[in-house]
Amino acid sequence: MQFFRLMGIVPLGIGITVLGFLWLTPFNEFHSPPLFFRIFASFIALGFILQGGAMVSGKLLDPKQWQSVASQLKQFDSNSEQQTTPAQKGYVCQHCGAPLAANADVSPHGDVKCGHCGKWFNIHARA
């Protein structure tokens, strides 16, 4: 656990070094970065600083927090499995609910005649 906190020093150091180089270099001198680059790179360095700071402070890897999140995900997963409806095999008639016969002729637009009730329906229509 402490190793992960120590790993946060690397991005924190990179971010602080980049910010220091960008803003401590005098303006209008040879090899000084332009203002647009200073602002753009500062946003990138800020991400490194925040990530490193979170890892060093240990807020990112709290084991009790991860356990509670994992238990909530398990509850959510078990609830979603119970609520799913079984998938229908094949098409059914929208009027009587009879399954479509294996030898039924379907038009290119999806129109078919039910072999049970004799009514026409479209297999692409939403119920």
Whether the CB-CB separation of 114 and 121 falls below 8 Å is answered with yes
Q: Residue 80: which residues within 8 A CB-CB, separation 6 or more? A: none
Strands of 48-110, DSSP E = none
What is the tens place of the pLDDT at every residue in 20-46?
Answer: 999 999 998 888 999 999 999 999 999
The pLDDT-based confidence of 123 (bands split at 50, 70, 90) is: confident
Predicted pLDDT of residue 90: 75
What is the tens place of the pLDDT at every residue in 54-102?
Answer: 888 876 556 777 778 778 878 776 655 555 555 567 788 888 888 888 8
The pLDDT-based confidence of 1 (bands split at 50, 70, 90) is: low
State how far the Cα of 82 lies from the Cα of 127, in Å rounded to an integer: 23
Q: Whole-number mean pLDDT of the chain?
A: 83
State how far the Cα of 28 lies from the Cα of 55, in Å rounded to an integer: 37
State how far the Cα of 5 lies from the Cα of 56, in Å rounded to an integer: 5
Predicted pLDDT of residue 47: 95
| Residue 126 reports pLDDT greater than 70 | no
Residue with tokens 């090899």: 31
The tokens for 62 are: 């709290």
